[in-house]
Amino acid sequence: MEEHRRWSPSCPLLRISTANNAEDSVVYEECGLIEIRPFSSPENSKPLLKQLRIREPVHRAYANYDMRMQSFQTWPISKPRPQELVEAGFFYTGNGDQIICFNCGCGISNWKPTNDPWIEHAKWSSECSFVVINKGKDFIQKTISKEQPLLQPKDIKSLMKHT
């Protein structure tokens, strides 16, 4: 800590540490400073999640990475790799190549070996908070804008003439 103080005297970490002077309220992890608050609990986070428009996971049991990975034990070999699908939030249903996002409940099937799980997830469920948090809104917007519309402008004009 002395080296840290010597080389970075204005570091916010040092100011918090000396201001609080309470070792039990501050924990140092490899990833940075974590403050433990006595009234923090999952129940208290629900209003915050609602305010941020983040829904609770539809399939909570599969919110855990390892649980999702275990579901892929019988996954067809010729499809995208299970690790890629799990990272994109999916678990395997055990039926054909049907997978489901633990968070939004979006189901996708008919996978091609070249499909990118994140792109497919963003394409079919652009509001999924798991995709938004992990890939960002720009990624989702770019993914959606690359998709061809179901109807081309000339087709729409043709349909409008018949109404």
Taking 80 as the threshold, does the pLDDT of residue 94 lie above it?
A: yes
Q: Is residue 25 part of a domain?
A: yes
**pLDDT of 4-35, one tens digit each?**
677 766 666 665 544 444 444 444 444 555 55
What's the confidence (pLDDT) of residue 56? Answer: 85
Residue 92 lies in a domain: yes
Same domain for 115 and 69: yes
140 CA to centre of own chain: 12
Same domain, 110 and 72: yes
pLDDT band at 62 (very low <50, low <70, confident <90, very high): very high
Q: Is the residue at 50 inside a domain?
A: no
Residues of the domain holding 66: 60-146
**CB atoms near residue 90 (< 10 Å):** 28
- Check whether residue 97 and residue 131 sit in a common domain: yes
The neighbour count for residue 148, using CB atoms within 10 Å, is 6
Query: What is the residue-wise DSSP string for the chain?
Result: -HHHHHH-TT-HHHHHHHHH--GGGEEEETTEEEE--TT--HHHHHHHHHHTT-PPPSSGGG-SHHHHHHTTTT--TTSS-HHHHHHTTEEE-SSTT-EEETTT--EE----TT--HHHHHHHH-TT-HHHHHHH-HHHHHHHHHHSPPSS-HHHHHHHHHT-
More confident residue, 98 or 76: 98
Longest CA–CA span in the chain (Å) reads 79
pLDDT range class, residue 1, cuts 50, 70, 90:
low
CATH of the domain at 123: 1.10.1170.10
